[in-house]
Each structure stands twice: as C-alpha cells, then as structure tokens.
C-alpha cells in the first residue's frame, strides 16, 4: 500500500467507527459507521417541460467543446434550453475538467440558479470522489433537480439519493452529441419529461427468481464501493435494490468490490440485485472443468445464499445500449423463468419498453467507452 494511502486510512480510523466526522486544517471529512442503516425517502424532481433550462457540466474528465455544443443542439431540438457551465472546456492535468474548485463551482452554479431545472453531465472518467466532502446534502435537498450521468457520476447519484433526491443513471453529453436519436437518448429525454419506462427484460441463465421492492441505488461498482462510509454512500439505505455495472475491470477486482459490499453489510440490506453490463471485463475465472465463467456467474455464486431475486443482463452501463434508470426511486423487480420486469413506482406516464426491441446505435462501442471516460 502506498504511504499516503496508509496515512489516510489511519486518519479515518482514528476518527472512531461511531463518530460522524473528523477535521483537518481545511476540510471536514464526513465518516459514518457503515454498519448503520438509513431510510432513503427520495423525492422526485419536477419533470421538464418545453423551454426549461438544462445545465451541461463536467464534474469529472473534460469533454471537447465540440461535443458539448452538439449536445446543446440536441437539447434545443427537444424543445429545451441548454446552458453550458462557466468552467466547461477547461483542462487540468490533461484530463480533468478543471480544478476541484472549478468543477464544484459549476455544480453550485447549476444548483443555485432557480431557472435551471436539470443537470446533464458531459462525461465520466474519474474525479467525483474528490467532490464528496465539498457538497452539502442539505443544499441538494433544498434544490432538488435531476442530475443525469453514469460511470464516475455514480458518486453524485449516491450524494443525491442520500440527500433524499432522485436522479437518473443515463447517457451523457458525449453520447448525445452523436445525434440523440437512438433509444438510449430518447428514452432518457422521455423520462426527463415524465414518461416513465416499465422494462421487460429477457431471461438470463444467471437470474435468480423472485419478486422484491426497494429503493434503487448503486451504479458503477468501482466508483460507488469505495464511497462506503461517506455521505455519498446510498448503500446504507434499508431495503435497497442494488444496481451494478462495470467496464474494463478484472473479475478479481469486481469480486473484491462485491466482497467489500458484503463485509460492510450491504448485501444484507438488499431486497434484490440488478446486474447491468460488464463491458470488456475479465475472463480469468474458471469452473471445475476449466471453462471460462462470466462475471454474472461469479456474482450469482456470491448472491445465491441471500435468497433474493437477481435480474441479470439489464442493458445499462458501458455497453451498446444504456437505458435510463431512476436512482433513489422505489422499484419492483419480478424475475421469473421466462424473463423479468423492472417497474419504477413513481408517478408519470408509464410506457412499456421491451429491451429486446432496442436497436443499438451505430457508434462503435470503443468510441462510446472512450467518450464515457473509462478508456484513455
């Protein structure tokens, strides 16, 4: 372990497991006991209407302004008014979309402007973990607005949900810039405007049958699992439905993150699990006969002792299709032998979406991965 990592771990431990925070000379570090539970009672931000302003910000890696401007054009075609964050377009250390202060400034700008009704993130990558202790849950609760994104934006979903505000795990500016006419984009647009999807998903060999309801939390596992014990940890919620996806990670590391969740009591709080896409992930695990097993099969083995439903193969994450999910919403999953359903128990015009009928966009997956920020 690197020296600075060891020192940080010792500093956090010195705060004591039952303490809520400790301080250094500059920041208050929020630390909670990961064995505690909280009640997640998230409110739904207002749906958008024609003419509403939508902020485009970059809280993680930078996005070329060409992509942001193309996304702004897509939003205009939807009847919305895009506004670009003041610091969007800046580059720090060759990858970040500005300093921590600049990225935080754009989040605060979007939250504090009452005319801005939603926030769409331009890109993932890395960097939102640097913002956890810069954001106030009270501020988020006082200004409930949709935030949209995935990958590294999972940290912000955790913060929004802990503050009691729903959010949307969905496509970002770099993808919208490709035209915004694919199902991934249009379903996200429809959701923002009040048309709530009810998904029908085909059967999967690693599904575990059953029905359950709970609050949907999670996202990219290597982003949200390290946040355990922080104020961005929505897995502290009681009676949760956990969503997990990943990209370009070894099976060993995915297994490690799942067992971190297990050791911190997260799986005991799960009423069910949804497994999304595991794009370009490792194949190093083998069965007794030496045959390669899937990531889903590996996680199935870990989860089967909990006797909860597991819905595998939901098309969300870093794959060819990334269907929107309402994080922080109460959802119901019903997994049976011939398929599964996912329903969001929130108000809005319900629309049936059969995931088998979704056509993948033409943009190569390698391009989408790079634009999302996971691939250099």
Tens-place pLDDT, residues 56-109 = 999 999 999 999 999 999 999 999 999 999 999 999 999 999 999 999 999 999
Angstrom distance (rounded) from CA 222 to CA 199: 26
Closest CA relative to residue 80, chosen from 111, 55, 107, 106: 55
Question: At residue 29, does pLDDT exceed 70?
Answer: no
Q: Is 41 helix (H, G, I), strand (E, B) or coil?
A: coil
Angstrom distance (rounded) from CA 97 to CA 127: 9
Q: pLDDT above 90 covers what percent of the chain?
A: 84
Angstrom distance (rounded) from CA 349 to CA 193: 9
Confidence of residue 30 (pLDDT cuts 50, 70, 90): very low
Count of residues making up the chain:
376
What per-residue confidence (pLDDT) applies to 50? Answer: 98
Angstrom distance (rounded) from CA 18 to CA 30: 12
Buried b vs exposed e over 254-282: b needs ≥16 C-beta within 10 Å?
A: bbebbeebeebbbbebbbbbbbbbbbbbb
Q: pLDDT above 70 covers what percent of the chain?
A: 87
Buried b vs exposed e over 291-317: b needs ≥16 C-beta within 10 Å?
A: eebbbbebbbeebeebebbbbbbbbbb
Question: At residue 372, does pLDDT exceed 60?
Answer: no
Q: Provide the pairing of β-strand 210-220 with 330-336.
A: antiparallel
Tens-place pLDDT, residues 308-350 = 999 999 999 999 899 999 999 999 999 999 999 999 999 999 9
Tens-place pLDDT, residues 227-270 = 999 999 999 999 999 999 999 999 999 999 999 999 999 999 99
What per-residue confidence (pLDDT) applies to 363? Answer: 57
């Amino acid at each position: 372990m690197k020296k600075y990592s060891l020192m940080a771990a010792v500093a956090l431990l010195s705060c004591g497991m039952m303490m809520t925070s400790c301080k250094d000379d500059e920041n208050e570090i929020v630390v909670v006991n990961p064995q505690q539970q909280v009640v997640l009672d998230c409110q739904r931000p207002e749906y958008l209407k024609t003419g509403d302003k939508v902020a485009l910000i970059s809280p993680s890696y930078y996005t070329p302004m060409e992509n942001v401007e193309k996304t702004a054009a897509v939003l205009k075609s939807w009847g919305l008014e895009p506004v670009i964050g003041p610091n969007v377009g800046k580059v720090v250390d060759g990858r970040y979309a500005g300093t921590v202060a600049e990225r935080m400034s754009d989040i605060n700008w979007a939250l504090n402007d009452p005319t801005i009704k939603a926030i769409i993130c331009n890109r993932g990558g890395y960097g939102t973990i640097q913002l956890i202790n810069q954001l106030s849950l009270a501020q988020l609760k006082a200004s409930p607005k949709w935030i949209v994104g995935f990958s590294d934006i999972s940290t912000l979903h955790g913060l929004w949900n802990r503050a009691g505000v729903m959010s949307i795990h969905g496509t970002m500016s770099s993808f919208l810039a490709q035209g915004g006419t694919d199902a991934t984009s249009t379903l996200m647009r429809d959701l923002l405007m009040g048309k709530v999807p009810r998904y029908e998903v085909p059967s999967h060999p690693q599904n575990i049958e059953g029905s359950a309801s709970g609050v949907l939390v999670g996202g990219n596992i290597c982003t949200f699992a390290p946040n355990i014990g922080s104020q961005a940890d929505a897995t502290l919620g009681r009676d949760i439905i956990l969503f997990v996806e990943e990209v370009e990670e070894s099976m060993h590391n995915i297994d490690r993150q799942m067992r971190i969740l297990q050791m911190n009591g997260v799986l005991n709080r799960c009423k069910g699990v949804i497994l999304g896409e595991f794009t370009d992930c490792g194949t190093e695990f083998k069965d007794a006969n030496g045959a390669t097993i899937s990531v889903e099969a590996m996680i199935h083995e870990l989860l089967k002792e909990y006797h909860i439903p597991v819905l595998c193969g939901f098309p969300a994450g870093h794959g060819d299709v990334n269907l929107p999910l309402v994080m922080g919403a109460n959802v119901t999953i019903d997994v049976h032998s011939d398929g599964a359903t996912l329903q969001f128990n929130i108000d809005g015009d319900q629309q049936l979406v059969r995931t088998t009928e979704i056509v993948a966009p033409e943009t190569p997956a390698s391009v989408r991965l790079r634009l999302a920020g996971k691939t250099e």
